[in-house]
Amino acid sequence: MSGSDIVLIAIQAFGGVALFIYGMLMLSRGLEKISGGKLEKILSGLTNNIFKSVALGAVVTAAIQSSGATTVIIVGMVNAGILKLSSAIGVIMGANIGTTVTGQILRLGDLENSANVGFALKLLTPTYLAPIIAVTGLVIYMLTKSDMKKNIGEALVGLGILFTGMLTMSGAVAPMAELDAFRKLFSALSNPFLGIIAGAAVTALLQSSSASVGILQAISSTGILKFSAAFPIIMGQNIGSCVTSLISAVGANKNAKRAAVVHLYFNVIGTVAFLIVVYAIKATIGFPRWDETIDMGGIANFHTLFNVTVTLCFLPFTKLLEKLACITIRDKSSAEAEQGGEEIIFSALDERFLKSPSLAIQQANNAVVTMGRVALQNFTGMRKLFGRGEFSEKLIARLTDNEEALDRMEDKLNAYLVKITECILTDYENRRVTELLHLTSEFERIGDYAMNLIENAEKLHDLDVTFSDSALRELGVISDAVEEIIGMAVDTVKNNDIGLAFKIEPLEETVDFLNETLKARHIERLKNGECVVESGVNFLDLLINLERISDHCSNVGVYVIGAQKNKSVLNRHEYIQAQHKSSDKEYMDLTEQYMAKYVV
């Protein structure tokens, strides 16, 4: 075989690798979208039940076809404080099992070399299965408008490309079996250290153990790969798979780094233990099929056997793994370990979650809820400033800090949402990002108006002016209504509750009525000399700010309704006018209830 032939074979082989990896990425992306982030969200509710953690880790990884994505998400969850390190250990162990599913699918390639294959089984060989799956997926993707069906189509096309890539790799390396140098290379990899290094290096380079196992399966089709060489390579592939999580842990907190280290220790210790046992058996009683060739099914089975066995062996020692990780990544001193509440809250906006856009969107949604709660806290705190003898400079300083934190939250959240838009999103996810960008602005504006009210309180204090008892009572009534509507807006976003969103507008209409009524009453008090001009102007300014806060809460409800109704933006004015003119019994009943509660 000439040098030019080898170059041509190498080009074809690398082209097959490129197709294979692209197909795997496309399959993984499609499956992740199908899951809608739900499988990953389940992980956040895990307890210390190790069996449940392992099972869910395996299911999630099998569902999204990427142990790398799972471990990166886990590191992000631990970094954000969503998941405890003890729970993360089980999920990481389960991810190692879930990643073996790809190899089991690819073992269908063994059917290519089977002589006695009927028509039905022949259709399952990659030669025919790849185009069948790819064409089916393409038809589904092009002819449907449903996001879910498009995602299924994308996953099927990815699987078809994956099989095509494997066939291309297998066809390219087949002539290499004739080369003596090629045979010597894999004979040398029977050395456990060289085999482990080679497996780890290729996997670290590809950042996918599934891809490296698939390439090994393609090489096995040449018939020159023996079990003695495949065994250490597979061991190394498991170690190399840790690189993705270790890279993702850079810049993370201590527990997140420990989660990545646990993944490394689990695979390294498991590999060492397996090596000792296997080579001890070989040296004593002999290991069956040691010098025999291994096929795709054998590689898939051994990969699965290794990960399942190591996981079962480690189940009683998860606490020991956790302790080992804590010894490796030690705690900082108490002074260094202190972290502000704002930073703890927004560590949830972790770029690691961008591997799963639906999960990143959920984290952004949680951050928006946090903004709403801070705005509500500021409003509640502001009300104390208008009570007789309750004015406090210390309280104002705390509320001012909250408002500054809200501004920083808005900036960070907007930047994070823009990064999400750079991912490949479904139509629904695009609408959700648009909705969250609007909601972030609404809650920040609510905080601004709460700050305006605080400034009003300061002016009155500086002028040594107070409101009359009747004015304070009226201010209390409308403030109660506004506090309730802010709470409703926050809960609407928290639960993505369209039913609660519909209830916001009747209360907003009630606040508008209160605003006009109390404004008229206060003007009468001014005319009758019951209030001084300074307090009168401030009272009217308070009413304007309170009414505007309720307007922004109404906006929140409209944006949530718009996203649920498959619209990027729902025209607020049209919606509100339609609601006000509506003869809908539920809307009218709610309005009457709020009027009875606050106006009467």
Q: Cα 414 to the chain's mean position, in Å? A: 17
pLDDT of residue 493: 93
Q: Are 512 and 591 in contact (CB under 8 A)?
A: no
pLDDT of residue 41: 58
**Ramachandran region of residue 293, left (φ > 0), alpha (ψ -120 to 50) or beta?**
beta
Q: How many Cβ atoms sit within 10 Å of the Cβ of residue 77?
A: 27
Cα angle 505-511-516, degrees, rounded to a multiple of 5: 130
Please classify residue 343 by burial: count the beta carbons closer than 10 Å to its beta carbon, then call 0-12 exposed, 13-18 middle and 19+ buried.
exposed
Which residue pairs from 35-40 have beta carbons closer than 8 angstroms and sit at least 24 positions apart in sequence?
35/60, 35/63, 35/64, 35/358, 36/358, 37/356, 37/357, 37/358, 37/359, 37/361, 37/362, 38/358, 39/63, 39/64, 40/73, 40/356, 40/358, 40/359
H helices within 124-208, ranges in order?
A: 126-143, 147-173, 180-188, 192-206
pLDDT of residue 35: 64
pLDDT of residue 20: 79
| Domains within the chain, CATH numbers bracketed | 8-328 (no CATH), 356-599 (1.20.58.220)
Q: How far, in Å, are 30, 361, 586, 589 from residue 213 at the CA level?
A: 21, 32, 60, 64
pTM of structure? 0.70
Task: Kindly give, in sequence order, each residue whose CB lies less than 8 Å from that of residue 367, ignoring residues fewer than 6 positions away.
Answer: 345, 346, 348, 349, 409, 413, 416
pLDDT of residue 439: 93
pLDDT of residue 279: 87
pLDDT of residue 480: 93
CA–CA dist 514, 367 (Å, integer): 32
Q: Cα 108 to the chain's mean position, in Å? A: 33
pLDDT of residue 385: 84
Amino acid at 430: N
Per-residue pLDDT of the chain (600 residues; tens, 9 = 90+): 566 777 887 788 788 888 878 887 787 777 777 765 565 556 655 556 788 888 888 887 877 767 777 787 788 778 767 778 888 888 888 888 888 888 888 877 767 666 566 667 777 777 888 888 889 989 998 888 777 888 888 888 988 888 888 788 777 777 766 767 767 777 787 888 888 998 888 888 877 777 888 888 888 887 888 888 888 898 888 888 888 888 877 767 788 888 889 889 998 998 899 889 888 888 888 888 888 888 888 898 988 999 899 999 888 888 898 899 888 888 654 443 444 445 545 566 778 778 778 778 888 888 899 899 999 999 998 988 887 667 788 888 888 988 988 888 899 999 999 999 888 787 788 888 999 999 999 999 999 999 999 988 888 888 877 777 888 888 899 999 999 999 999 999 998 888 899 899 899 999 999 999 988 888 887 777 766 666 667 888 899 999 999 999 999 998 888 877 765 555 666 666 666 666 677 888 888 899 998 875
